[in-house]
Amino acid sequence: MYDTANTIKTIGAAIRTRRKQIGMTQQDVAEIAGLQRQTISRVEAGNAAVAVATVAHVAAVVGLDLLVTPRYEHGHS
């Protein structure tokens, strides 16, 4: 089952929640990801200036995948 996070803020919150669930600090994630702790903080805060590739990399470090799916608007399939 998938949880849906559809804004940069909710994606960041999901990453933060998962990090805490697995008992990691921002510094732990930063060291594994090869990033600065401040970058992890910006990812978790949903800072729109963070590259999508960075968000995906941090998500992977905490065991999450980013999944992009088609959005069907009303009247379109």
Do the Cβ atoms of 25 and 69 come closer than 8 Å?
no
Check whether 2 has a pLDDT greater than 80. no
Check whether 76 has a pLDDT greater than 60. no
7 vs 30 pLDDT, higher one: 30
pTM: 0.86
What CATH number has the domain spanning 8-61?
A: 1.10.260.40
pLDDT at 74: 67
Cα distances (Å, whole numbers) of residue 56 to 47, 49, 75: 14, 14, 31
CA 10: distance to chain centroid?
8
Residue spans per domain, the chain: 8-61
